[in-house]
């Protein structure tokens, strides 16, 4: 590509709100970062871009038709459903994503939620500060019985890199790990029990979702799914909100069909005022932050830079729409 490469980030705040450096991307061309971009401003801000970075800002066929200079789209996330990949393919524009940057962060967050629910350290801290411990007269007190993870069964649906990382942490806590995946690989993972989904739900004390959202998995966590779980079971979703029928989950939590849900994703983000999940004490909700440790976001920015560099060198990587060459550098 002759001349200075023009790189435009449409929603850079998500990946970098200012707590680390854009230098890996800045080294590759002229970088313009918009913290956020409303839909009506997409074309205006992207019209001169050779390379477009987006996390959650949708890029459809209508926008692509108005961006004749565009050579590459880099999604600063693993999921790329915000891009019309078919429309990009028809224009010879590669779409690249960023796989695996958040594996350790998400796995850690899954257990942060589990341990927070089982031990309630924040609630106990508040109780201590409000004087409840002093009033109790006991050398120790607890708000509810504290559970151990050892000998419990962790059921993992989806066994990619994140599911595998969660499984390793579960084993470290002394849990039995059982897995359901589209493709069983017992030779690759000796010691892991591969189960049909119904058997996994019936056996697991904790069910953690780590599968992609596809036609097959969208809304799979419905009333029938939840009915198959133990009444003492805990559902963890740090994957995709679209995997869950949220109204069915609310009903299951209200009726005690399952013990608790630990969610990092919800049907609308940010969550809407009045969402019934907010009323439920047996539902712990975090604001879609499982992926967002500083270390993970630094890795994400580096992968983004690596994607751009590989394209500029004529060898694009992490291409999700089958355009290996595209409007390649000249």
Instruction: Write down the number of H helices and E strands in the chain.
Output: 13, 12
191 and 226 in a single domain? The answer is yes
Radius of gyration of the chain from its Cα atoms, rounded to whole angstroms: 22
Query: Tell me: the pLDDT tens digits for 269-310?
Result: 999 999 999 999 999 999 999 999 999 999 999 999 999 999
190 inside domain: yes
Query: Tell me: the pLDDT tens digits for 219-234?
Result: 999 999 999 999 999 9
Query: Tell me: the pLDDT tens digits for 39-59?
Result: 999 999 999 999 999 999 999
- Residue 311 is predicted with a pLDDT of 97
The 8-class DSSP code of residue 80 comes to -
User: How many Å apart are CA 110 and CA 122, to the nearest integer?
Assistant: 17
Q: Are strands 234-237 and 260-263 parallel, antiparallel or unpaired?
A: parallel
pTM: 0.92
Furthest-apart CA atoms within the chain: distance in Å? 77
- The CA-CA-CA angle for residues 274, 112, 200, to 5°, reads 85
* 269 catalytic per annotation: yes
Burial of 194 (0-12, 13-18, 19+ CB in 10 A): middle
Average pLDDT over residues 25-40: 98
- Residue 248 is predicted with a pLDDT of 98
79 and 113 in a single domain? The answer is no
Q: Which domain holds residue 254?
A: 103-285
126 and 233 in a single domain? The answer is yes
State yes or no: pLDDT of 137 exceeds 80.
yes
- Active-site option among 26, 132, 269, 272: 269
134 and 236 in a single domain? The answer is yes
- Residue 116 is predicted with a pLDDT of 98
273 inside domain: yes
- Active-site option among 34, 109, 180, 240: 240
CATH code at 110?
Answer: 3.40.50.720
Beta bridge partners of 9: 33, 53
Token code pair at residue 217: 């998995």
Give the total number of structural domains in the chain.
2
318 inside domain: no
Q: Are strands 234-237 and 6-9 parallel, antiparallel or unpaired?
A: unpaired
82 and 34 in a single domain? The answer is yes
State yes or no: pLDDT of 33 exceeds 60.
yes
68 and 132 in a single domain? The answer is no
Token code pair at residue 24: 């890996």
- The CA-CA-CA angle for residues 306, 308, 311, to 5°, reads 105
Q: Average per-residue pLDDT in the chain?
A: 96
324 inside domain: no
Which among 285, 290, 289, 327 is positioned nearest to 106, based on CA atoms? Answer: 290
- Residue 183 is predicted with a pLDDT of 85
* 309 catalytic per annotation: no
327 pLDDT tier (thresholds 50, 70, 90): low
Average pLDDT over residues 147-171: 97
Query: Tell me: the pLDDT tens digits for 192-201?
Result: 899 999 999 9
68 and 127 in a single domain? The answer is no
Q: In this structure, are residues 134 and 157 in contact, taking their beta carbons and an 8 Å threshold? A: no
- The CA-CA-CA angle for residues 203, 217, 172, to 5°, reads 45
194 inside domain: yes
158 and 257 in a single domain? The answer is yes
46 inside domain: yes
- Residue 150 is predicted with a pLDDT of 98
% of the chain exceeding 70 in pLDDT: 97
Average pLDDT over residues 318-325: 90
Spell out the alpha helix ranges (H) of 151-208. 161-172, 197-203
Q: Are strands 6-9 and 30-33 parallel, antiparallel or unpaired?
A: parallel
- Residue 114 is predicted with a pLDDT of 98
1 inside domain: no
* 288 catalytic per annotation: yes
State yes or no: pLDDT of 3 exceeds 60.
yes
326 pLDDT tier (thresholds 50, 70, 90): low
87 and 130 in a single domain? The answer is no
Query: Tell me: the pLDDT tens digits for 60-116?
Result: 999 999 999 999 999 999 989 899 999 999 999 999 999 999 999 999 999 999 999
CA dihedral sign of residues 118, 119, 124, 125: negative
State yes or no: pLDDT of 329 exceeds 70.
no
Tokens 């005022």 belong to residue: 273
86 and 125 in a single domain? The answer is no
- Residue 169 is predicted with a pLDDT of 98
97 and 114 in a single domain? The answer is no
39 inside domain: yes
């Amino acid at each position: 590509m002759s001349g200075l490469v023009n790189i435009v980030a449409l929603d850079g705040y998500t990946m970098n709100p200012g707590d680390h450096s854009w230098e890996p991307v800045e080294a590759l061309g002229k970088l313009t970062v918009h913290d956020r971009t409303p839909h009506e401003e997409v074309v205006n801000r992207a019209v001169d871009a050779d390379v477009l970075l987006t996390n959650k800002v949708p890029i459809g066929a209508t926008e692509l038709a108005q961006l004749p200079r565009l050579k590459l789209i880099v999604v600063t996330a693993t999921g790329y459903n915000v891009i019309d990949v078919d429309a990009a393919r028809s224009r010879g524009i590669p779409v690249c994503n960023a796989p695996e940057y958040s594996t350790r962060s998400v796995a850690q967050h899954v257990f942060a939620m589990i341990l927070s629910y089982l031990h309630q350290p924040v609630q106990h801290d508040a109780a201590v500060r409000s004087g409840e411990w002093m009033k109790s007269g006991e050398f120790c007190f607890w708000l509810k019985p504290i559970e151990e993870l050892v000998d419990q069964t962790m059921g993992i649906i989806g066994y990619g890199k994140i599911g595998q990382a969660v499984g390793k942490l579960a084993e470290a806590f002394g849990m039995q790990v059982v897995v359901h995946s589209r493709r069983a690989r017992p030779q690759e993972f000796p010691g892991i029990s591969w189960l049909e989904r119904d058997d996994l739900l019936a056996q697991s004390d904790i069910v953690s979702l780590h599968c992609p959202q596809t036609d097959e998995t969208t809304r799979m966590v419905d009333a029938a799914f939840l009915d198959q779980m133990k009444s003492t079971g805990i559902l963890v979703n740090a994957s995709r909100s679209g995997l869950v029928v949220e109204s069915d989950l609310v009903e299951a939590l209200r009726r005690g069909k399952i013990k608790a849900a630990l969610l990092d994703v919800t049907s609308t983000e940010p969550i809407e005022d009045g969402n019934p999940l907010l009323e439920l004490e047996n539902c712990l909700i975090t604001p879609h932050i499982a992926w967002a440790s500083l270390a993970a976001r630094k890795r994400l920015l580096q992968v983004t830079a690596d994607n751009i560099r590989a394209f500029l060198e004529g060898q694009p990587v992490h291409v999700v729409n089958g355009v290996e060459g595209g409007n390649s550098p000249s």
